[in-house]
Chains A and B, each alone.
Chain A
Amino acid sequence: MRAPAPVIVGAGPAGMRAAQVLVQAGLRPVVIDEAPKPGGQIYRQQPDGFTRGARKLYGFEHSKASALHEAARQMIASGQIDYRPNTLVWDADDRQLYVTCDGKHDAVPYERVILATGATDRVLPFAGWTLPGVYTLGGAQIALKYQGCAIGKRIVLAGTGPLLYLVAYQYCKAGAQVSAVLDTSPFPTLRQGVQAFVADASLMAKGLYYMAWLRARGVSMMHGVAGFEADGVGRVESVRWRKNAASAMQILPCDALACGFGLRSENQLASLLGCNFVFDEQDCNWQPQVQPGGQSSRANVYLAGDGMRIGGADMAELTGRQCAYSVLQDLGIHCDKKQVAQLARRIARGRKTRQCIDRMFALPAHWMDAVDDTLMVCRCEEICAGEIRQMLRDDPHSGLNRMKALSRVGMGRCQGRMCVAGASMFLAQEQGIALSGVERLRNQPPVKPIPIGGAACKP
């Protein structure tokens, strides 16, 4: 008897390329995606009625975006995949994924599942980060890409990572006023620049192009920024920032701030499925443990794309395909060994590039040192640093999960997605331990809020 088709969670570059490899091998995978159209966040498609073309929406990456959309369209139209858009996977066990679509609950059985769940911005807390007008960098980009809107009239972009310059460029090109770019990373050294050029010349060239373009239009770009905060009554009215810890705060009037410090994987389902996690020093984060082909520590669970390791859209396409080949091999289905070897080489090269990027845009390790008691660490439950310090006085050796239980940090609706990076750094700082010594925040179902409705959740 033929094994049931694999299930893929996520229809971004990783999920769709994985689906394509499985389809080419004669399988009909189930593809479950939260969004109404395929493409993921990076190649997100606009709602019906918008008219801008791929070149405007995706810039230099427009041909990749169009190719992915076309591949997805063909597989959906011909019924080669069982495509389920607008569907959230909110829990999973050994046999089934529990899904909600349009308020209706269902279970999807699986024998093998590929998790291509993508990433969100990694954010760190600062004074005023809950004010209306403060958004993530990825969020600011979505406002433009998906809705043709800017998050404000005078916008400051702050944090670190390649997205800072890309979003600044895209906003300026669309006619928005970018007041400043505040990068917490120092300007890359010559050595770093050369390494990045050797690793991926075209990527580095794009980055330099964005920066030169912004400079030519007089957008002020600051490097090695020590700190920033948002200020205002009821909404953002200015951003205050300083060059280094000793210097005075400078004030920039603005009405919006987009912030981010790289990306963090969405790996809640891997966690609920019992996959092992390991701390990665380069990423300063816990990651699902994977073999080179994307196999997790669970025999029937595979990972690909940014949900496995932050690597960007090109890497997501490659690791999506690689992961699908691993599934085929485990099913005993023949696959082209040359293709597999070539993919492995390209992925190894991509990992080297990522190392260069991570070195140039490192997480500011001292962000949570000596923070004020009034700093709100958890947005959902509105828990401040002082409340956590009070809790730690009674329970000084608390781990992150106990801290969550006692202080409610990470217990809100976002399930720690927005606060875990800052809360982990804060706990490490308060306890005088390395970040790697802070345990991983456990996940709970449902991974996102779902309507309870009249029926029981698990059918």
Chain B
Amino acid sequence: MSGLFTRLVDQQRKPCHFFVNGTACTARMGDTIMTALLTLNGHLRLTEFTGSPRAGFCLMGACQDCLVLQENGERLRACSTLLQENMRFVIPEQNR
């Protein structure tokens, strides 16, 4: 699946490495977790009740729609947390 977000300007920053479901990925230093994930993937999580995909909504820490799971079981708010080297995320595949 291709990403949702498109990088437009100011993208000549150092690379930052991370993992999604164990697969190595690369984004940029200064990316939020949301930017890093959504430039590669189409969603961040599946909802608890219907298993629908979600990819954030407000980008300002209000809607809590962008909570993303890490391998250690902790959730992070992807829109307001900057990506750090070697972070490890778990994103379940969409139900088709």
- A interface residues, Cβ below 8 angstroms from B: 34-35, 41, 46-52, 56, 120-121, 130-136, 138-140, 142-144, 146-153, 174-176, 234-235, 255-256, 266, 379-382, 412-414, 417-418, 448-449, 451
Contact = CB atoms under 8 A, between A and B. Distances in A.
A47 B84 CA distance: 13
A343 to B, nearest CB: 28
B58 to A, nearest CB: 5
B5 A381 contact: no
Q: What band does the interface of chain B fall in when counting residues whose beta carbon is under 8 Å from A?
A: 35 or more
A380 B56 CA distance: 11
Secondary structure dominating the interface of B: loop
A121 B13 contact: no
Given A413-B67, A414-B63, A175 B9 contact: yes
B56 A150 contact: no
Given A48-B30, A414-B65, A149 B8 contact: yes
A146 B31 CA distance: 9
Contacts of A147: 5, 30-32, 35
Interface string B53-96: 11111111111110100000010000110100000000000101
Contacts of A130: 52, 54
Contact of B52 (A48, A120, A382): A382
Contacts of B14: 49
Given A132-B55, A133-B4, A234 B42 contact: yes
A138 B57 CA distance: 10
A234 B5 contact: no
Contact of A49 (B5, B13, B35, B47): B13
A144 to B, nearest CB: 7
B58 A234 contact: no
Contacts of A46: 10, 30
Contacts of B10: 46, 50-52, 148
A139 B61 CA distance: 10
A235 B63 contact: no
Nearest to A266: B62
Nearest to B11: A148
A41 B80 CA distance: 12
Contacts of A382: 47, 49-50, 52
B62 A134 contact: no
Contacts of A47: 30, 32, 82
- 8 A-B pairs with least C-beta separation: A132-B55, A139-B59, A413-B64, A148-B10, A49-B30, A47-B30, A142-B59, A148-B9
B23 interface: no
Nearest to A175: B8
Given A138-B59, A176-B6, 5 more contacts: A34-B61, A132-B55, A138-B58, A139-B79, A234-B53
Given A135-B59, A381-B49, A174 B30 contact: no
A127 B16 CA distance: 37
A411 B88 CA distance: 30
Nearest to A259: B57
Contact of A174 (B4, B8, B12, B29): B8
A148 B5 CA distance: 10
A401 to B, nearest CB: 20
A134 B60 CA distance: 15
A50 B32 CA distance: 13
Contact of A136 (B42, B58, B80): B58
A235 B42 contact: yes
A153 B2 CA distance: 12
Contacts of A138: 58-60
A436 B42 CA distance: 40
